[in-house]
Structure 1
Amino acid sequence: MPSRNHLDKIGRKKKKKWSEEAMERALIEVKSGRCTVRQAAKEFGVPKSSLGDRVSGRVTPGSRSGPAQLITSADEELLVEFSLYMSKHGFPLTKQQVVSFASSIYKRQHRRVAFSKLGQTWWLNFRKRQERNITIQPADNVVRGRTACVRKEAVDQFFCLLSTVMDAHGLRDKPRQIYNCHETGFHLGRKRGHVPKPAGLGCKPAPGSRDHVSILACFNAAGDDVPPFVIYSRAYPGGVCYKTQGPTNALYGWSDSACVNSDLFKKWFLKHFLTHAPKERPLLLVFDGHKSPVSLEVVESARRENVILLCFPPHCSHILQPLDAGLFVVLKQRLASVTGEGCAADAHFAISKKDFSGVFKRAYQVAKEEEGLRIVREGFKKCGLYPLNHFAINGGNSMPSHGIGPTAGTSLSISAQTMHAVGELTAAEASS
């Protein structure tokens, strides 16, 4: 971390008062022999030392002065374009996320380096270079007791964006191309407790549970599924029976918390979703991405494959998630009946990690039955995602944002001075 005095010096750094054209004319005069370096520098108003460096060949004519740029101008423009895409699709980036994505670009260029050199100094210079393209805004408001109320303005903006995207890509009557992915958790072991709400992306397991398994499920508005992603805590079960006995074509992974992180989401999207999703394009994938599961590689691949990523507004996914609206409840009830649990709503199941996939396969069959298809479709309808219906959301669950206090923090957005509006962006993507 650079010192405050060093950062202040960066802010007070003088701008160069000479142009490249003047430097080129001075260089021509010196090389022709008509002037000395001192005479040409005085005549054209350029620094003698800089002109001398170009005459001697220490500096290539036309190159930028100062230290080498850590990422190229083209990659920096790609980063701004990426930030625009994320902001306009419901993923406003924080400072830490921008630096992290820039570090990914840097490491891609310098594959042998152990760590990125990008930090506070790069961030300040990046902000200065891109001051016309980006703005810094306060962090989104936090809702206390989100099950009681959500911000009406946030829901309105989400449905406006969803409507714009659907119209631009012609998806209003294509339910098989509208997908929702969401994660729910299962606690294994003998300990019993109250039912936690279905876990969002990036959730943490309840303390005290012996083992934890998460399922990342993905369905379209017609009821078709992408095989589930089973995520274990800390490590895979021993042996291979968990794969052979699990749901057909399921994907498996593990993390310390048994929940989706950026690497697991990239693995799921690149190697699983794109493999099992239909070939029709475009596809719309709506999910809760505020725990930062989205990586630069995912966005680049999604744009190449014509998959539109759309994020639910913060603290509103519990009333907008189609899979929360019924299927996950039915899955836990079916799993309880398969395992012989007395209470269908119990979130703790007395089965081992090794046996979970085989037991879950029998419970997951409900998604293949007519009852499961109906529940999934009703979930999309109840949340207003398909058919698109803003008024499907119960108005009693929302409240104006002025009744909510702000919290500390900032997020990155794109200035309207040089960037397209949402409609222009989506229309351009649809035509490309």
Structure 2
Amino acid sequence: MGPAPVLSTAEEDRLQNWILSKAKLGFPMHPNEVKDAVQKILKTIGRINPFVDDRPGNKWLHLFLKRNPNISKRNTEIISKSRASVTESAIREWFSELRTFLENENILDMMNDGSRIFNADETGVRTCTKSGLVLAPKNYKNLYEIASGPEKESITVLCNYSASGIAAPPMVVFPYKRVPKELALTVPKGWAIGRSDSGWMTAATFFEYVANVFYPWLVSTNVMFPVILFIDGHKSQYNLELYEFCVEKRIILYCLYPNATHILQPCDVSIFRPLKVNWREVCRIYRQKNKHKYNTSQFLSTIQRSI
């Protein structure tokens, strides 16, 4: 009864599959994310609808859930800091859920091949690093060092490694509306550069990395599909376009256990600290050999020597 739904059955099936898949992989969605996705779909196809600015309201969401009973609203549990601490049993439960998921998908054998298991994470790299301990006269208080660039400037670097120890091409994200031509010309072979207003990874930038960098690299290196890519749970990059691309290309994005990336995430545990130690050494040598001010045009060629 009543008017036909704004979205077709096929379009609502897309939404339903996306919502359910995200929840199973550790990325439960907020209702506003669903509304944002519908708004983007309607703006893209230009379909006439009764919504304000093409964005549905709570009534539409209520009817959508009624038409799709496999999805329900669930309250998250509020827990204290002491209960939020990571425990061995919680981590073991996460591994158990991962195993169950892989068994249900009939791809558990993938975990025996390190070349098909990946972890990607981004880190902020300061362009003006501290030198650390230096030599100076005893009891000398006024010890300064002239900064080679903006003291708090940080550039985002997305790193991606397999369990077999192979590095996939990284992506460097700059805070630009448009990447300057002279900067684009300095990109090392096989690397990627992205842009965002904040300089941090966004949904569009992460999709660009997976679709245009990571997937072609997997194909060119003859990695067997499907592959699994572990990422942080706080990321908002897992949008509808990325979900459908990954389903088609057999790339599984799986969420690491929350608040435990300092234990479980290989990039945090094994990669970023030595990378930044090496980066400080590279910057120290750069400052000794160059008198002119450091700028982003030198960043790519410099960071390449650290990774």
Establish whether residue 213 from structure 1 lines up as the match of residue 151 from structure 2. no
Instruction: Between 113-122 and 260-269, report the one with greater CA deviation.
Output: 113-122
Aligned-pair distance for 1:190? 7.2
Letter in 1 for 2:20: L
Structure 1 unpaired stretches of 5+: 1-64, 194-207, 343-349, 365-432
- How far 1:155 sits from its partner (Å)? 2.2
- Opposite residue 134 of structure 1, the aligned amino acid is I
Q: Tell me the amino acid that sits aligned with residue 274 of structure 1.
A: Y
Q: Deviations over 1:202-248 (max 9, x none)?
A: xxxxxx954220001111111112211000124566442x3443432
CA distance in 2, matches of 1:322, 1:191: 25
Distance in 2 (CA, whole Å) between partners of 1:298 and 1:93 is 15
Contact conserved, 1:214 with 1:259, CA < 8 A, in 2? yes
Among candidates 162, 168, 173, match of residue 112 of structure 2:
173
3-state secondary structure, aligned to 1:293: coil
Deviation at 1:165, TM superposition (A): 4.2
Q: Secondary structure at the match of 1:138?
A: coil
Is 2:131–2:284's contact at 8 Å kept on the other side of the alignment? no
Q: Residue 171 of structure 2 corresponds to which residue in structure 1? A: 229
2:151 and 2:32 map into 1 onto residues whose CA distance is 32
- Aligned counterpart, 1:118: 56
TM-score (norm 2): 0.79
2 CA distance for matches of 1:134 and 1:188? 46
Larger Cα Rg: Structure 1 or Structure 2? 1
Alpha-carbon offset, residue 78 of structure 1? 2.5
1:85 aligns with 2:21: yes
* 2:3 corresponds to: 67
Would you say the 8 A contact 1:234–1:255 is kept in 2? yes
Change (3 A) 1:301 1:133: same
* Root-mean-square deviation over aligned CA pairs: 3.0
Matched AA of 1:150: V
The structural deviation recorded for 1:299 is 0.7
Shift of 1:320: 1.1
Instruction: State the identity %.
Output: 27
Q: Which moved more, 1:152-161 or 1:72-81?
A: 152-161
Q: Deviations over 1:253-285 (max 9, x none)?
A: 121221111111111111111111244111111
One-letter amino acid of the structure 2 residue matched with residue 78 of structure 1: R
Matched, 1:286 2:237: no
Q: Which residue of structure 2 lines up, in the alignment, with residue 352 of structure 1? A: 295
Contiguous gaps of at least 5 residues in structure 2: 133-149, 287-292
Give, in angstroms, the shift of residue 96 of structure 1. Answer: 1.2
Residues 341/121 of structure 1: CA separation in 2 closer, same or farther (3 Å cut): farther
Q: How far off is 1:178 after superposition?
A: 0.6
Aligned to 1:252: 193
Paired positions, count:
276
Q: TM-score, normalised by structure 1?
A: 0.58
Question: How far, CA to CA, are the matches of 1:119 and 1:134 in structure 2?
Answer: 17
Helix, strand or coil: the match of 2:56? coil
Assess if the C-alpha contact under 8 Å between 2:111 and 2:117 holds in 1.
no
